[in-house]
């Protein structure tokens, strides 16, 4: 069974540009989560999608947005990039939409903002 996949592996952008990150969940999983892992800060919860709807978002500005497609894959968009957006962005998926469900993580996309 294929795990969670993310693309691209690396992404280099300049300040002010937009970045689009993609995630494909494990087959059968309906929930997708996005996290930012900046150096020394651990994982910060960004967004949670289930069945195409945004269920919740973390304490991030509106320029961080995303969506979930009918096939449950997801896209994270970061507008007006700032230097501090440089981080590893992790996507996870789970079978259900409950806080008890195990999350399965992808390998991440390393975003570098110059």
E strand segments, the chain: 5-7, 10-13, 19-24, 31-38, 42-50, 53-57, 64-68, 74-78, 87-94, 104-105, 109-113
Does position 8 interact with other proteins (CB under 8 A)? The reply is no
Binding to other proteins in span 56-75, by CB under 8 A: 56, 58
* Rounded Cα distance, 96 and 8, in Å: 26
Query: Stretches 10-18, 21-29, 60-68, 100-108: which one binds other proteins (CB under 8 A)?
Result: 100-108
Binding to other proteins in span 34-53, by CB under 8 A: 35, 40-45, 48
Binding site for other proteins (CB under 8 A): 3-4, 33, 35, 40-45, 48, 55-56, 58, 90, 92, 99-100, 102-108
């Amino acid at each position: 069974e294929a795990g969670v996949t993310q693309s691209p592996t690396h992404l280099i952008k300049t300040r002010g540009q937009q970045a689009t990150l993609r995630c494909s969940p494990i087959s059968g999983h309906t929930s997708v989560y996005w996290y930012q892992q900046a150096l020394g800060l651990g994982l910060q919860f960004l967004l949670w999608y289930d069945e195409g709807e945004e269920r919740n978002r973390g304490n991030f500005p509106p320029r961080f947005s995303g969506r979930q497609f009918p096939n449950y894959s997801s896209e994270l968009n970061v507008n007006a990039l700032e230097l501090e957006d440089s981080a590893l962005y992790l996507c996870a998926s789970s079978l259900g939409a409950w806080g008890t469900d195990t999350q399965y993580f992808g390998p991440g996309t390393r975003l570098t903002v110059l």
